[in-house]
Chain A
Amino acid sequence: MTLDIKEISSQLEKLKQDFQDDISGNKGSNLAEKIRIKYLGRKGQLTSLFALLGKVPAADRPVLGKQLNVLKQLFQQEIDKLAELESEQPQCIDFFDRSLPGVTKETGTFHPLYQVLEEIKGIFVSLGFTIESGPELETDYYNFEALNIPKDHPSRDLQDTFYIDDDLVLRTHTSPVQIRTMEKLKPPIRMIAPGKCYRKDAIDATHFPLFHQVEGLCVDRGITFADLKGVVEAFAHRLFGKNIKIRFRPSFFPFTEPSAEYDFSCVKCAGKGCNICKGSGWLEISGAGMVDPAVFRYVNYDPEEFTGYAFGMGVERIAMLKYQVADIRDFYENDLRFLKQF
């Protein structure tokens, strides 16, 4: 007696349908195991169909064999899936709470001062400046002498200095890097020197013995005060937006002449006057000026041939304005609740 393969195929269709009904139905616990026994057990419905293989014509056997195997594999996969679900999350089968919190990871952060510093550096690099550096433990010569701040001169009082010995100080500005760079290179020079500086100031909301400064220097033939104004304006506009106004007013620094202080119109009130600018509408940023010929003589540049400008800025000051931080100590307390805001 031989069996018609078509007939068996339709039986297989039916079996598949039953299986799918069973597996998607909700019939209590341990369902996966029950279904496995029903279909794939030693006496299971699909298992028993394999016995029919011998009863079909030899030519049909491979076809049927393949059909049976495909079905067996499918059943096995479905059962495995169900078993896995049952074992892992029995409570979630009927209700998936998508509002359970996601598992987050704590990411790292850069210090806000360095975020601002990177931004400043980026602006000047795009304006064609290089980044130079020098030591924090500096000699009297580089920190003062070569910057036209002689010993026994009242201009030394502009900065309260930490001394290690008579010749070694903690640099009070990053201006010594000007000298070091000019000693190393010939004009044209266009550089900024970011870094830590120290002054013996009593600690309060706007003073800390440690602070970060960015010093800028440009030396070439034909550099003028107009170029200084241009570069400081370009910088201010990039950092705080096109609406910022910049004001230069005369001042005194031993290493620049003419010397200027530059102010930005208040970033908060746009010059109307508020608590940040103390009603003046202006924010003092820092000093600038044309490089004093005396400084050029220290590095053997001919002041008749070359002119240059220099400027400085305090990173803390700018970060305080940018993030509206009222107290400089916030940057150095390193409270994680503060740091993680940036």
Chain B
Amino acid sequence: MKVTLEWLKKYIDFDYSADELAHHLTMLGLEVDSINQIDYQFDNVIIGQIESIEKHQHKPQLSICHVQVGSQRVSLVCGAPNVIPGMKVPVALTGAKLPHDITISAANIHGYKSQGMICSEAELGLSSQNDVIMELPENAPIGQDLKRYLGSGETVIEIDVTPNRPDCLGVFGIAREIAALIDSKIARPEIHLKESASLKIEDCIQVDIQNPESCPRYTARYIQGVKIGPSPRWLIQKLQAVGIRSINNVVDITNFVMMETGQPLHAFDYDLLQDQKIIVKHATEGEKFVTLDDKEHTLTSERLLICDGKKAIALAGVMGGVNSEISSESRNILLESALFNPTNIRRTSKALDLSTDSSKRFERGVDPEGMVYALNRAAELVCELAGGELAKGYIDSYPVQIPTRKIALSIDRTNHVLGTSLDKATIEKLLNRLEFITTAKDNDRFDVDVPTFRVDIEREIDLIEEISRLYGFDKIDSRIYSQLPLTLQQDPGEKFRQLVRDFIVRLGYNEITTLSLIAEAHAKKFTIYRPVKLKNPISEEMGTLRTSIVPGALQIIKWNKNRKIKSQNLFEVGNIFYFNSKQNDAHREVTKIALLKTGSVRSNNWIESSRETTFFDIKGDALSLLRQLNLNHFKMRAATVEFLDREQSVEILISENIVGYLGALSNKIQTEFDIEDTVYVAEFDLNALYQNYNWEKISQPVSKFPAVIRDIAVVVDQKLTTEKVEDVIWRAAGSYLQKLILFDVYRGKQIAADKKSFAFTLTFQSDQKTLTEQEVESNIQNILHALKTKLNAHLRA
């Protein structure tokens, strides 16, 4: 809501500067967004008087005006029809500046040298009026700078009015707030109407409200013989200052009064109405209607229409119809000032995607007692600016009275909510300043009459807010903890999440957080379920909820790669979404942990050279994480997901449930995301890990006896997996084997082509005794025997 300092001062006298006012309004809940002085966009334009006019020799539509500008007399070519001798006009001489960066220079116009130009309001950027020269008052001093003459522009204050304060969508409302601040009252302009003696409203129009629940009140006036034309400059400038474009005098007046009072008005061309009737009723299903903006709407029966005897003429409270629009030919007009149901207007505005100054006010609620004032105010201005004869009386159809509100307020309750100790007199005074009328009931309670313009005040708590707001939040002393802290029951899931993030950071990963909205095509590739799509996305690229953290994280990998960062370890913990077709298509939201690794595992340095990341690095990191979390009873098997490489991938199971997967991305995905270097990923379900996590940790004694370490190398069939060999070793070894580490895998000339060699380090230890040479040796023999018989493996020579 824009308002000017000068406009406010018409109704309330105050001494605040614009900055002070902005501060006070903000502290009262009317947050001021900006303060702007309107600047004229022209320079060096002076006031001149036309002395004589002659016709251009070749172009009769042009005239040559001889203009006195004080120090000199100049001759200017002018094409406007309204120039007459004696007229005071704005003159832009050579060197003057006009809007749109125009600098005036002497010009040759059809053989005639013009030393400048006489300006219209449009040329000066003052209004849109461009067909006539701007006429200045007779007393305007010749030769004076126009800017100095007009005075400085108005100061526009833009206020962010919260949805609960429709009363502040009018200048009156904001003036009332200032009045409350300085303990004063606003002065609304008094209205003096000259009504016709013969022309009576009831002879001109009949109003029938068929749906009073949607239109509780309808008032109207009729004015005959108006002259539609441009608005005077003051009106144009007022509207322009608050962001409304001038249309014509009558429409401008309805907008001006709306801005002033907060009550939206509408003017119909009376001669386009049939049967001298206004009928307010709901549309018939499928009815079509063309609004002022030339858009055709198909309506449902919920939409409320203003109709004449035959047809719809306005979409009630939202926008008028093109079929009854005020035009330059309009002579007789009907002014409407009505009250519509806020919910109905809002639904219409939303359904038709049509939000107007009018609908914005109606959907928030307008003063049910304010519409007659607004109607009369508009009628007065029309008569003043557009002439015409005002019919005697006005229509006021008010089928359902809107009750005034009386609310009981307790002083105790007020102080109890605010933490204050305000006394009765203080509270009463605060409310009175806001135009609430108080009647004391007993020592603790008031009856409070709510002014009709405060449609937002319905309950005691609303009054308490009013009191606190005017009293000032800064005057309420803060209190720190009168109570002891509660016994904390912190959510263990939250703690687990932090634990996991801690471990991953220790593994050298950088945490990222990515947008959960991704392209549908990407979402589909990382799930077997139906992705969750947005009904109203910003764009297709952000149209679907992620089904995995990986696609979003791949965009980050790409971003960094494009910035020459080749090696990346990234992780994110966050939620993914899908519809579960197995459970009635219910939507699911699951927290995942994703690790992504690409590039080299360590950078080149002067001692060691770098090494590219492999499958076994992501596998190792995943294992480290699981072991840190004491989750040792997991299994791995070949993964079946399509986005991973068919060989370099596994899924991880705990108690037969898949809890995650890891591996290299498939070539297809790599190509699709346009990433050259292989990206290795691991993704776990946080909750599944949490379910298997044991918070209890019980210490194990460490052995006091020495460990014996032996290396063995065995040659096995090339296709045998490490897992199988290790399994045989563990089973054959007995309880002394504590650790088994594969430290070499060899294939080459020294062994047969279909064989490979595994070298293990075995650590034997007992927590009962020092192992003897013989005990260890017999263990080794058992192992070798088992390897030979079960896997046909033999000791490498």
Q: A132-B491, A252-B163, A335-B563 are in contact. Are A258 and B569 (CB under 8 A)?
A: no
Indicate which residue in A118, A227, A247 contacts B474 across the interface (CB closer than 8 Å). Answer: A247
- Say yes or no: is B153 at the interface (Cβ < 8 Å to chain A): no
- Say yes or no: is B506 at the interface (Cβ < 8 Å to chain A): yes
Q: How far is the CA of A168 from the CA of B476 in the complex (A)?
A: 40
Residue contact B486 to A226, C-beta cutoff 8 Å:
no
Query: Which residue of chain A is the closest to B608 with respect to CB atoms?
Result: A103
On chain A, the residues within 8 Å of B606 by CB distance are: 100-101
Interface residues of A in 285-313 (CB under 8 A from B): 290, 292-293, 307
- Say yes or no: is B512 at the interface (Cβ < 8 Å to chain A): yes
On chain A, the residues within 8 Å of B474 by CB distance are: 247-248
> What 1/0 mask marks residues of chain B from 565 to 587 whose CB sits below 8 Å from any chain A CB?
10011110011010000000001
Q: How far is the CA of A165 from the CA of B521 in the complex (A)?
A: 20
- Say yes or no: is A59 at the interface (Cβ < 8 Å to chain B): no
On chain B, the residues within 8 Å of A224 by CB distance are: 416-420, 479
Q: A128-B488, A164-B533, A335-B563 are in contact. Are A257 and B478 (CB under 8 A)?
A: no
Q: A107-B508, A230-B478, A336-B560 are in contact. Are A114 and B418 (CB under 8 A)?
A: no
Residue contact A336 to B565, C-beta cutoff 8 Å:
yes
- Say yes or no: is A249 at the interface (Cβ < 8 Å to chain B): yes
Indicate which residue in A108, A152, A170 contacts B569 across the interface (CB closer than 8 Å). Answer: A108
Q: Which of B233-241, B283-291, B430-438, B458-466 contacts A (4 or more CB under 8 A)?
A: B458-466
Interface size class of B (residues with CB under 8 A): 35 or more
Q: How far is the CA of A260 from the CA of B417 in the complex (A)?
A: 14
Q: How far is the CA of A323 from the CA of B490 in the complex (A)?
A: 29
On chain B, the residues within 8 Å of A252 by CB distance are: 29, 162-165
Residue contact B565 to A337, C-beta cutoff 8 Å:
yes
- Say yes or no: is A210 at the interface (Cβ < 8 Å to chain B): yes
> What 1/0 mask marks residues of chain B from 481 to 522 whose CB sits below 8 Å from any chain A CB?
111111011110110001001001111111111111100000
Q: How far is the CA of A227 from the CA of B482 in the complex (A)?
A: 8
On chain A, the residues within 8 Å of B461 by CB distance are: 257-258, 290, 292-293
Q: How far is the CA of A251 from the CA of B26 in the complex (A)?
A: 9
- Say yes or no: is B297 at the interface (Cβ < 8 Å to chain A): no
Query: Which residue of chain B is the closest to A256 with respect to CB atoms?
Result: B465
Chain A contact surface mostly: mixed
- Say yes or no: is B469 at the interface (Cβ < 8 Å to chain A): yes
- Say yes or no: is B769 at the interface (Cβ < 8 Å to chain A): no
On chain B, the residues within 8 Å of A226 by CB distance are: 418-420, 476-479
- Say yes or no: is A158 at the interface (Cβ < 8 Å to chain B): yes
Residue contact A164 to B565, C-beta cutoff 8 Å:
no
Most chain B C-beta atoms within 10 Å of own C-beta, residue among A153, A202, A226: A226
Q: How far is the CA of A19 from the CA of B420 in the complex (A)?
A: 93
Indicate which residue in A137, A261, A339 contacts B532 across the interface (CB closer than 8 Å). Answer: A137
Most chain A C-beta atoms within 10 Å of own C-beta, residue among B350, B418, B419, B485: B419
> What 1/0 mask marks residues of chain B from 367 to 408 whose CB sits below 8 Å from any chain A CB?
000000000000000000000000000000000000000000
> What 1/0 mask marks residues of chain A from 218 to 258 whose CB sits below 8 Å from any chain B CB?
00101011110111011000000000000111111000011
- Say yes or no: is B473 at the interface (Cβ < 8 Å to chain A): yes
- Say yes or no: is B167 at the interface (Cβ < 8 Å to chain A): no
Indicate which residue in B27, B164, B479, B514 contacts A230 across the interface (CB closer than 8 Å). Answer: B479
- Say yes or no: is B343 at the interface (Cβ < 8 Å to chain A): yes
Q: How far is the CA of A252 from the CA of B570 in the complex (A)?
A: 41
Q: Which of A47-55, A78-86, A326-334 contacts B (4 or more CB under 8 A)?
A: A326-334
On chain A, the residues within 8 Å of B347 by CB distance are: 152
Q: How far is the CA of A135 from the CA of B556 in the complex (A)?
A: 25
Most chain A C-beta atoms within 10 Å of own C-beta, residue among B28, B29, B498, B565: B29
Indicate which residue in B483, B498, B505 contacts A109 across the interface (CB closer than 8 Å). Answer: B505
- Say yes or no: is A127 at the interface (Cβ < 8 Å to chain B): yes
Q: How far is the CA of A252 from the CA of B167 in the complex (A)?
A: 14
- Say yes or no: is B607 at the interface (Cβ < 8 Å to chain A): yes
Q: How far is the CA of A164 from the CA of B588 in the complex (A)?
A: 13
Residue contact B538 to A209, C-beta cutoff 8 Å:
yes
Instruction: Tell me the smallest distance from the CB of B466 to a CB of chain A, in Å.
Output: 9
Q: How far is the CA of A97 from the CA of B511 in the complex (A)?
A: 37
Indicate which residue in B363, B417, B514, B587 contacts A225 across the interface (CB closer than 8 Å). Answer: B417
- Say yes or no: is B753 at the interface (Cβ < 8 Å to chain A): no
Q: A108-B506, A108-B508, A226-B419 are in contact. Are A334 and B570 (CB under 8 A)?
A: yes
Q: How far is the CA of A88 from the CA of B571 in the complex (A)?
A: 40
| 30 cross-chain CB contacts under 8 A | A103-B607, A106-B508, A106-B603, A108-B507, A108-B508, A109-B511, A114-B513, A130-B490, A131-B494, A153-B343, A209-B542, A224-B416, A224-B418, A224-B420, A225-B418, A227-B419, A227-B480, A229-B477, A230-B481, A231-B480, A233-B480, A250-B468, A257-B462, A258-B465, A261-B31, A293-B459, A307-B417, A334-B570, A337-B563, A340-B510
> Which residues of B line the A interface, CB within 8 A?
26-29, 31, 162-165, 342-343, 346-347, 350, 360, 363-364, 416-420, 459, 461-462, 464-465, 468-469, 473-474, 476-486, 488-491, 493-494, 498, 501, 504-517, 532-538, 542, 545, 556, 559-560, 563, 565, 568-571, 574-575, 577, 587, 589, 602-603, 605-608
Q: Assuming A111-B511, A257-B465, A340-B510, what are 4 further A-B pairs, CB within 8 angstroms?
A: A114-B501, A170-B545, A334-B570, A336-B510
